[in-house]
């Protein structure tokens, strides 16, 4: 199906039972976001808000709320995209099957953007920022944000659409110190293409021209989150995925997507920043207020009967989970071709994606050795941590499995496989004082912290305990899974107090190492029952609240030639620390209002 507009897509979803129209007046301050979250939690339909307080524009959300719906939207092009990626990874297949790949080549013609000077529907009217739906998602948010933006920029050294970048970098529309209607905030994180463009513009001492597109065909939104190699334009991918060439024009020197519903144009001047945030983000916490580039608004455009597309992020999984699932559907085994020896990788969404990466590699270096131990998987781990978005991983667990029975997507089985084989004195490898994901506040500063690779391979070394040993009786504990115990301690106070607590824990437990052979991992936490209640709770608590170099401890720990290990269980201190960002929480009054609204609808 080729959609020429967002509305075209929504009408198709409605025709096929995938859309719910909300006709009551809804408040963009917290209420719309709460409705979205509730419907998403129930795996409900896409939403079209027809009566939004304070604006004449309709709003749509939860468009990509399930993988099933995302695949439905791209049902006619998904296979073509997969074939194109497969041909790129293995060009010999194109030679062996020329008829099939002729079709693939024809589909690739849609990748060429189309300059469209005659049809300019998005330039229908010029409006102001205050005319837009100013959606405030979480109570402590610094203002209203654009949450499905397509942020476009060009390199001043090599201008033009084929060398451009399109990314989903959140935009703050009001609040803080922004001059209303004249300034907006532009937040982007590490490893983003726009950073290269701004660096080059700064070197020349010129402002970076930026356009923010909202709405338009759904392929444009997905393209903005697609992890394409640097130098490849997302507009080409949008054309293939949408089966429709990306249409654009230039207005006042700014690139304009003529199929978008809204376009905000502006300039980012060298060294001009203002406080952006807080913002309730996809790790389940607020990203706090920090200085980020400020964009001087040039003009804001809207097409006739425009629809504002938005989403809501929070503790995962949320709608953005479907983006990751869809990308995995499209790219398939692409990473295996990029990283030799890698069989499978899974950035765990329930842990916030970047905090936890699970991988399966190969072990082919020393087949003549009788003793199996990590070798090639350590090389693969280093390659992964130097590759694109994988480089933001904080915890990387990696193993090898010659039987090909193990899957990173069966998280509990994967952890048990690792924990049965881990040599705690050998298999834990730290990267200290390094870069981290911008949204991860477990480190000791913005974008800074540590990483750890846990590379376990070989024969089974232990039988994992399914019951909590008696040596834990003086503490409040809960069994998370075989081999993993949640241990509840008092609220975190300071590094000095923590050192004292860990020393006491060590003094008591190291006397019972024989009893602890089946417990290789202890999660110190604020609430043992909550942490052990579900697998999602475990990975969220354990891996979002820990800075490895600071918060990993061990029973009978040692340092030898700068290598750290332990002869008893490894301990992850996953308590909330004073420097952590606040946890996102819903508002009871808003939730009651959502009850009233949704009681009138069936979905």
Chain segment 219-238, per-residue pLDDT in tens? 999 999 987 765 567 899 99
Name all contacts of 321-328 with Cβ < 8 Å and 24+ positions apart.
Answer: 321/349, 322/64, 322/65, 322/66, 322/67, 322/69, 322/70, 323/64, 323/70, 323/222, 323/225, 324/349, 324/353, 325/67, 325/70, 326/64, 326/67, 326/70, 326/71, 326/74, 326/222, 327/225, 327/226, 327/227
pTM: 0.91
Q: What is the pLDDT of residue 96?
A: 44
Domain pair 6-309 / 470-573, same fold:
no
- Strand partners of residue 279: 287
Average pLDDT over the chain, rounded to an integer: 92
Pick the CATH number of 6-309 from 3.40.50.720, 1.10.3720.10, 2.30.110.10, 1.10.10.10: 2.30.110.10
Fold entry, domain 470-573: UbiD C-terminal domain-like (3.40.1670)
Report whether the peptide linkage leading into residue 68 is cis, meaning its omega lies within 30 degrees of zero. Answer: no
Half-sphere exposure of 412 (CA within 13 A, CB side): 13
Q: What is the pLDDT of residue 101?
A: 47
pLDDT at 190 over 60: no
Residue 585: CB atoms within 10 A of its CB come to: 11
Question: For a pLDDT cut of 70, what percent of the chain falls above it?
Answer: 94
Residues 520, 338: Cα–Cα separation, whole Å? 33
pLDDT at 80 over 90: no
- Strand partners of residue 476: 488
Residue 91's pLDDT band (cuts 50, 70, 90)? very low
Question: For a pLDDT cut of 90, what percent of the chain falls above it?
Answer: 80
pLDDT at 579 over 80: yes
pLDDT at 388 over 50: yes
Please choose, from the candidates 413, 556, 535, 396, the residue with its C-alpha nearest in 3D space to the C-alpha of residue 479.
Answer: 535
Q: What is the pLDDT of residue 232?
A: 67
Q: Is the dihedral of CA 118, 122, 124, 127 positive or negative?
A: negative
Residue 103's pLDDT band (cuts 50, 70, 90)? low
Q: What is the pLDDT of residue 233?
A: 76
Q: What is the pLDDT of residue 118?
A: 67
Please choose, from the candidates 293, 316, 304, the residue with its C-alpha nearest in 3D space to the C-alpha of residue 262.
Answer: 304
The domains of the chain are located at: 6-309, 470-573
Q: What is the pLDDT of residue 382?
A: 95
Q: What is the mean pLDDT of residues 406-423?
A: 97
Q: What is the mean pLDDT of residues 401-416?
A: 95
Residue indicated by tokens 């290789």? 520
Q: Maximum CA pair distance of the chain?
A: 80
Q: What is the pLDDT of residue 209?
A: 97
Q: What is the pLDDT of residue 179?
A: 98
Q: What is the pLDDT of residue 328?
A: 83
Pick the range with the lowest mean pLDDT from 13-22, 286-295, 323-332.
Answer: 323-332
pLDDT at 407 over 70: yes
Residue 400's pLDDT band (cuts 50, 70, 90)? very high
CB-based contact 104:236 (threshold 8 Å)? no
pLDDT at 97 over 80: no
């Amino acid at each position: 199906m080729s959609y020429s507009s967002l509305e075209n897509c929504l009408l198709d979803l409605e025709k096929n039972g995938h859309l719910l129209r909300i006709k009551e007046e809804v408040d963009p301050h917290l209420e719309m976001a709460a409705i979205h979250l509730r419907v998403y939690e129930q795996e409900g339909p896409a939403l079209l808000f027809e009566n939004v307080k304070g604006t004449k524009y309709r709003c749509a959300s939860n468009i990509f709320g399930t993988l099933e719906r995302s695949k439905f939207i791209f049902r006619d092009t998904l296979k073509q995209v997969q074939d194109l990626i497969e041909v790129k990874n293995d060009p010999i297949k194109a030679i062996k099957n020329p008829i099939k790949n002729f079709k693939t080549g024809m589909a690739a013609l849609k990748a060429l953007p189309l300059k469209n000077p005659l049809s300019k529907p998005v330039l229908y009217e010029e409006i102001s920022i205050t005319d837009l739906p100013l959606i405030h998602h979480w109570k402590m948010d610094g203002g209203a944000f654009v949450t499905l933006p397509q942020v476009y920029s060009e390199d001043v050294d090599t201008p033009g659409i084929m060398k451009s970048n399109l990314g989903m970098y959140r935009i703050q529309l009001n609040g803080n110190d922004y001059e209303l209607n004249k300034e907006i905030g532009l937040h982007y994180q590490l490893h983003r293409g726009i950073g290269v463009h701004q660096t080059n513009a700064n070197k020349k001492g010129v402002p970076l021209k930026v356009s923010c597109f909202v709405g338009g065909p759904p392929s444009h939104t997905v393209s903005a989150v697609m992890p394409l190699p640097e130098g490849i334009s997302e507009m080409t991918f949008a054309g293939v995925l949408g089966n429709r060439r990306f249409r654009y024009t230039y207005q006042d020197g700014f690139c304009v997507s003529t199929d978008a519903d809204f376009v905000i144009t502006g300039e980012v001047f060298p060294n001009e920043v203002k406080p952006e945030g807080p913002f309730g983000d996809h790790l389940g916490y607020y990203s706090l207020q920090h200085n980020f580039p400020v964009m001087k608004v040039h003009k804001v455009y809207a097409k006739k009967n425009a629809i504002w597309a938005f989403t809501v992020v929070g503790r995962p999984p949320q709608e953005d989970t479907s983006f990751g699932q869809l990308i995995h559907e499209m790219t398939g085994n692409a990473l295996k071709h990029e990283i030799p020896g890698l069989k499978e990788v899974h950035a765990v969404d329930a842990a916030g994606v970047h905090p936890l990466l699970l991988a399966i590699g190969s072990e082919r270096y020393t087949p003549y050795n009788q003793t199996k131990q990590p070798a090639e998987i350590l090389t693969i781990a280093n390659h992964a941590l130097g590759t694109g978005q994988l480089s933001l991983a904080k915890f990387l667990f990696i193993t090898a499995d010659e039987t090909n029975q193990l899957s990173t997507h069966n998280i509990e089985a994967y952890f048990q496989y690792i924990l049965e084989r881990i040599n705690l004195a050998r298999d834990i490898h730290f990267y200290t004082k390094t870069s981290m994901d911008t949204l991860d506040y477990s480190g000791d500063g913005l974008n800074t912290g540590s990483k750890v690779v846990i590379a376990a391979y070989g024969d089974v070394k232990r039988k994992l305990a399914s019951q909590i040993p008696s040596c834990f009786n003086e503490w409040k504990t809960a069994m998370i899974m075989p081999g993993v115990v949640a241990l509840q301690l008092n609220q975190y106070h300071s590094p000095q107090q923590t050192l004292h607590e860990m020393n006491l824990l060590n003094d008591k437990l190291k006397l019972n190492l024989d009893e602890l052979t089946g417990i290789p991992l202890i999660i110190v936490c604020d609430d043992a029952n909550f942490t052990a209640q579900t697998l999602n709770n475990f990975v969220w608590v354990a891996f979002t609240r820990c800075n490895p170099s600071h918060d990993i401890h061990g029973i009978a720990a040692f340092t030898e030639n700068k290598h750290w290990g332990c002869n008893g269980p490894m301990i992850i201190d996953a308590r909330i620390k004073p420097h952590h960002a606040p946890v996102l929480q819903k508002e009871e009054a808003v939730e009651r209002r959502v009850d009233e609204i949704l009681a009138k609808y069936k979905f």
